[in-house]
Structure 1
C-alpha cells in the first residue's frame, strides 16, 4: 500500500528558538553552596584589610555538550510534531443491494451433458461450481438462495456472509425440491423475501433448464408482481434448446427478463456460464466508497527514542571522562 510521509503538527517547529529566548530573558539560576574556611583565613583578612565577598562559579558547557542539547531539543520537537506515514484512503465495499439466486434443482439438472476438467458431469455440479465463484465475487451484496423444483424453498436468507451462502449451496442437490419445474413459484418466493427486507435495490437471478409446469402461479404473473416491487430479474437458460431431449422454454425466460427490465442469457456449457456471470457482474457492479479514516503509521517514537539514547550516552560519556580525570589527578598527587 503506497504511503506518504506527513507531519501532523508542523507548527511545533516554531518552538525551535525557545531555549535561546529562555537563556536571554530569564536570569541565571543561582545555587548557594558552603565554602571551605581555612584556619588562617581570618588572619589573612586582617593582614590585607580586605573584606570577605560572595563569589560565584559559572559552569560553562563545552561545544560538544551544546551540540548534544541542541540535537536532543530538535529530536524532541520532531517527536511532538507527530511524523507519520499516511496511506491512501481504503475503498470500503458498500452494501447496496439484495441479490437473490433462484436455481432449478429438478431432476433434469442431473443430466450428464456438461464437462468439468475434461470429464462429463451433471449440469447441477457444473452450475454449482461456477456459481461458487460468482457468489464470492459479490462482496458487498447481501446474497440469498432459493432452490426450486416442484416447490420453492429458501436455502439461504439474505446475508452478507458469502462463505455461509457457499456452504449452504454445497448442501443442495438435485431432487431436493421435487422433480417438476415451477418457475412461477420460485419468483413468488423471491418476491416474498424481498418484501421483508429494507434494501431498495433488488436483483434476482434465475437458472433453469426446463419448462414451467405449474398451474397455480404462472411465471409471467409472478414477473408482474416482481416488476411492481421494482425487482430486476436476469434469467439464464441451461442447456442447448436445439438438442433433442432439452425442454428449455427460452420464450418465457426472455419475457420474464423483459418484463422486469433484466436480460436473458443462454448457457450451453460451463465456459459460457462463467462468461454470463462476468456479464452480470458488469451489469450489476459492486459499489465502493472511501473510508473517512486513512491508514496511519505513527513514527514519533523514532526521534523520541534517539533523543533519549543520546541523552543517556552523553551522561555516561561525561561520567566516564570525569572519572578518568579524577584518576589522573590522584596519580599526579602521588608523584
Structure 2
C-alpha cells in the first residue's frame, strides 16, 4: 500500500521568528548580585562628585548555545506541526447483514465420496474445508451457525468475530445432531435466531445432502415462514442426485430457495462448491461505507524527543562551562 509523508499543520512554522522578535523587543533581564565592597566608598563619591548608579550584568550567549536553542525551537515546531505517514484511503466495511449458515451433519454426510488434493474424504470434511475460506471472506457480515440432523441446534449465535465462527465450525462433526435429516426444523431454528437479531437484511445458507425426514414441520411451510420474515434462504444440494444410493431431494431445496427469492445450487465436488461460494459473494456482496478513511501513523514523538535530548545536552554543556569558568576564577584568586 503506497504511503505518503505529510505535515498536518504547516502554518506552525510561521512561528519560527517569534523567539527572535521577543529577544529584540523585550528589555534584557536584570539580575541582582552582590557589589564589590570598597573602603571609603562614600568619601570617593564626595570627592569626585559622582553618584552611584544601579547596574546589571547582561550575559552573552556564545554561538554554540544559540545553535542549540535554534535547533530545539525548530524541533518543537516540527512536533507541533504533526508530521505523519498517511496510507492509501480505504473503504470501511459496513456491517449491514446477518448471514446464517445452516448445515446438515446427519450420518449421510459421513460418506467418503468427495476428494481434497486427490484424497478421498468425507463430505462433511470437504464442506468444512471450503466453508473456512468462505467465512473468512465475509468480513462485514455478522455470521451464525446452526447444525441439524434429527434435531437442530445453534452452534454460534450471530457475531462479527468470524474467527470464533470458524473455530466452532471446525469443532462440529457428523452425528452430533442425530442421524436423520430434518430440514423444516432447521429452518425454523434459523428463523428463531433471526428474531433475536436487529439487522434487517437476513440471509440463510442451507446445505443438505438428504431428503427431509421430519414430521414436526414441512420444509416448505418453514420456508413460507422465512419469507414472511424477509429471510432469503439459499440452498446447496451436496452430492450427485443421480449417483447410486443418493437421496438428495433437489426439488424441495429448489422450492425453498424460489419461495424466499433466493437460488438453489448443486455441489457435486469441492471445485463446484468453491464456485458456488463465489456466486454467493456476487449475489450477496459485502457492503462498504461511502466514506473513506486514511490509515495514519503519527511521527510527532520523534522531533519532540530530539528537542528534549538537545535541551538536556545544552543544559549539561552550560553547567559544565559555568563550572569551568568559576574554577579558573578561583585559581586566579
TM over 0.5: yes
2:257 is matched with 257
The answer to whether the Cα contact below 8 Å between 1:90 and 1:290 also exists between their aligned partners in 2 is no
Q: Counterparts of 1:145-160 in structure 2 under 5 Å?
A: 145-160=145-160
2:22 paired with 1:22: yes
Distance 1:322 1:145, change over 3 A: closer
2:73 is matched with 73
Return the alpha-carbon distance in structure 2 between the equivalents of residues 213 and 92 of structure 1: 44
Return the alpha-carbon distance in structure 2 between the equivalents of residues 127 and 69 of structure 1: 69
Q: Counterparts of 1:86-97 in structure 2 under 5 Å?
A: 86-88=86-88, 91-97=91-97
Cα displacement string for residues 294-316 of structure 1 (whole angstroms, at most 9, x for unaligned residues): 65444333333333333443444
2:85 is matched with 85
The answer to whether the Cα contact below 8 Å between 2:30 and 2:57 also exists between their aligned partners in 1 is no
> Which runs of no fewer than 5 residues in structure 1 stay unpaired?
none
Q: Please report the TM-score for the alignment, with normalisation by the length of structure 2.
A: 0.82
Structure of higher CA gyration radius: 1
The answer to whether the Cα contact below 8 Å between 2:91 and 2:293 also exists between their aligned partners in 1 is no
Shift of 1:203: 0.8
Per mean C-alpha deviation after superposition, the further-off stretch among 221-230 and 68-77 is 68-77
Q: Counterparts of 1:164-243 in structure 2 under 5 Å?
A: 164-214=164-214, 216-243=216-243
Return the alpha-carbon distance in structure 2 between the equivalents of residues 201 and 312 of structure 1: 61
Distance 1:25 1:223, change over 3 A: same
1:162 is matched with 162
SS at match of 2:169: helix
Return the alpha-carbon distance in structure 2 between the equivalents of residues 316 and 32 of structure 1: 24
Shift of 1:236: 0.9
SS at match of 1:154: strand
Q: Please report the TM-score for the alignment, with normalisation by the length of structure 1.
A: 0.82
Shift of 1:267: 0.9
RMSD: 3.3
Cα displacement string for residues 262-299 of structure 1 (whole angstroms, at most 9, x for unaligned residues): 11111111222122122212322223348887654443
The answer to whether the Cα contact below 8 Å between 2:31 and 2:57 also exists between their aligned partners in 1 is no
1:281 is matched with 281
Distance 1:51 1:106, change over 3 A: closer
Aligned length: 332
Distance 1:309 1:269, change over 3 A: closer
Distance 1:265 1:327, change over 3 A: same
1:51 is matched with 50
Shift of 1:102: 1.8
Cα displacement string for residues 149-200 of structure 1 (whole angstroms, at most 9, x for unaligned residues): 3343333333333344334434433334344333233223322322332211
Per mean C-alpha deviation after superposition, the further-off stretch among 225-234 and 307-316 is 307-316
Shift of 1:137: 2.8
Return the alpha-carbon distance in structure 1 between the equivalents of residues 182 and 203 of structure 2: 19
